Amino acid sequence: MTGKHNKLHPVLQSLRDTPVAQALRSTPVFQSVRTTSALVAGAALVGTIAATTAHASVVPDGHSQAAAARLAGYATAESTLPQLKKDAPQHAPQQAPQAAAAQPRAAKAPARPAPTKPTAQQAIKIATSQAGISEDGAGKTKFQRWYMGTERAKQTVARDGGSLGLYANAEWCDMFVSWVGHQAGAAGSVGSDAWTVAHAKWFQQHKRWGTAAKPGSVVFFAWNGSKSLDAIQHVGMVIKDNGDGTVKTVEGNTDGNSVAVKTRPDSTIVGYGYPDYAR
């Protein structure tokens, strides 16, 4: 051996010149150990030598005996270390922490379905179902009472002046049409008013005004034949265009202050407002 490996452990050095070591130095096993470069293997062999010596009852002097015992312990520890390492529990390499499980998303509130638009025929059915209803003994109807309880009535009073109580005795043809729109679920496109002129202009402002009679459209009349919106005096709902210059309608506050189905000539019609019905 060369370099730093040429230096023996002090215990080995002390045993080197013992009678037992001298006797074994010439053995083939010892010679083979000399040719290795593993100090641990040499220590293990010396431990074997010490054990063999003790077994053979070859007792060296006190110093050598103690040294041999220490050397045997070193050799045993050296030879045991690889096995201990092998038997030690193997810890799996630490895994990278996994991402925290995604938190369950808060359940979304179910989207509200879009309001279903009524068809023109549904609105007409509601309107014609009221045919025959007339004012009571005090000259009042459910249509007036309904309108007076709406937020829209407060708005029209603020616009036109007066008080809510005045609607109880007012002409109610437009309140009837407004009631039909509300009952059909189409108040937003039928409109709601008590003044026919303002109602017609509301349709015009929303670009839903025209001169063609369509089922369910709101029809505005001027008895003098004027085509001016400011001349409007009455209102109803179209049932159908008869195709002969007349229009079949359902109206409130007509024929003895009741709801009635009527046939009107085109000459009395100013125009039509078109609600947004389902196709």
Residue ranges covered by each domain of the chain: 8-85, 120-273
- Extract the runs of DSSP E, i.e. beta strands, from the chain: 209-210, 218-221, 234-241, 246-254, 258-265, 269-273
Q: Check whether 22 has a pLDDT greater than 60.
A: no
Q: Check whether 154 has a pLDDT greater than 70.
A: yes
**What local confidence, expressed as pLDDT, does residue 116 receive?**
86
**What local confidence, expressed as pLDDT, does residue 144 receive?**
98
Residues 221 and 263: their CA atoms lie apart, in Å, by 12
Q: Check whether 279 has a pLDDT greater than 50.
A: yes
Contact indicator for 228, 240 with CB cutoff of 8 Å: no
Q: Check whether 101 has a pLDDT greater than 70.
A: no
Whole-model pTM?
0.61
Cα-Cα-Cα-Cα torsion 168, 172, 177, 180, nearest 10 degrees, comes to 40
Q: Please give the backbone phi and psi of residue 15, each rounded to the nearest 5 degrees, phi first.
A: -90, -10
Strongest mean pLDDT among 39-48, 75-84, 126-135 = 126-135
Q: Check whether 47 has a pLDDT greater than 50.
A: no
Q: What are the pLDDT digits (tens) for 213-243?
A: 999 999 999 999 999 999 999 999 999 999 9
User: Which letter, b or e, does each residue of 160-178 get, where b requires 16 or more Cβ atoms within 10 Å of its Cβ?
Assistant: eeeeeeebbebbbbbbbbb
